[in-house]
Amino acid sequence: MASQDQTIVLITGANGGIGFELASQLLASASYLVLLGSRSLEKGEAAVQDLRSRNLPGKVELVQIDVNDVESIEKAAEGVKEKFGRIDALVNNAAIAGTIPEPPSPSDLYTVLTSSFLTNATGPAVTTLAFEPLLSASTAATPRIVNVTSGAGSIKMRLDSSNPHQKMKVVPYRASKTALNMVTACQAYEYGERGWVCVAFCPGFTASGLSDMNKEEHGAKPTSEGAKPIVDILEGKRDAEHGGYLNATGQYPW
């Protein structure tokens, strides 16, 4: 069991990339218990072993959770309830790039668009609902929800000819992240009345393993830089931006 003064943070998709780095940064403080969410039990166990081998002050536990599978989500929530009784923050980080060949066939678009929405929008919405009772049981003054999104989900920037990334198609990724942004807005409206903070956060082009392009040799920034602002959000440094579509230095237009 976690002590009452430990902040319990569940991070989905945390066996690698930004989720793993976020876990590592949080574990630098003994005040955190990180629940490392992983779809793959094998990869999750390896990630937990790696973090524990670093002798960081915080504590880490594995939670097997597949955000594409409602039974997996509900099982994970029940397991966390039985073992810890609460969480204080949820980071919906698990995502897929949703890459399709060019030019795509109707079948290609249907398959990838469907899977992208399931992982990038439906998954976070269902996960939040499943863990809502555990957030309600939080001992923190302000429970927090962070939905890891992308600037690619901005409708305004997609139509802005001055945007250097306007020509980047990635329709399934863009559309699913736009949907996640609306999920965030709905959560912010509902949970804001309870005093919770809920935001969408874009870490920027980061060496996260999301796709073959998300590597430093292609200009992506280090994973540590993508994760650090999420630590700030979890530590209450951006609470005034509740309901926002945030990036490292400000907010994106919806």
pLDDT score for 144: 98
- Does any domain span residue 254? no
- Does any domain span residue 137? yes
pLDDT, tens digit only, all 254 positions of the chain: 566 789 999 999 999 999 999 999 999 999 999 999 999 999 999 999 999 999 999 999 999 999 999 999 999 999 999 999 999 999 999 999 988 888 889 999 999 999 999 999 999 999 999 999 999 999 999 999 999 999 999 999 999 999 888 888 899 999 999 999 999 999 999 999 999 999 999 998 775 666 565 555 555 567 889 999 999 999 999 999 999 999 999 999 99
pLDDT score for 223: 81
- Does any domain span residue 11? yes
CB 115 within 8 A of CB 98: yes
- Does any domain span residue 117? yes
pLDDT score for 102: 84
Angle between helices 41-53 and 17-26 (to 10 degrees): 30
Q: Which amino acid is at 92?
A: N
Total number of domains constituting the chain: 1
Which residue in 5, 236, 234, 10 sits closest to 134, CA to CA? Answer: 10
pLDDT score for 167: 82
CA distance 233 to 197: 9
- Does any domain span residue 251? no
pLDDT score for 208: 63
Interior angle at CA 188, CA 113 and CA 17, nearest 5: 50
- Does any domain span residue 50? yes
pLDDT score for 41: 98
- Does any domain span residue 98? yes
Q: Which residues, 6+ apart, have CB-to-CB distance to 77 below 8 Å?
A: 130, 131, 133, 134
Give the CATH number of the domain where residue 175 resides.
Answer: 3.40.50.720
CA distance 7 to 60: 12
- Does any domain span residue 252? no
Domain with 217, as residue range(s), is 7-246
Beta sheet of 7-11, edge-to-edge order: 59-64, 32-38, 7-11, 89-92, 144-148, 197-201, 245-246
pLDDT score for 212: 61
Look at strands 197-201 and 59-64 and give their pairing. Answer: unpaired
* Catalytic residue IDs: 173, 177
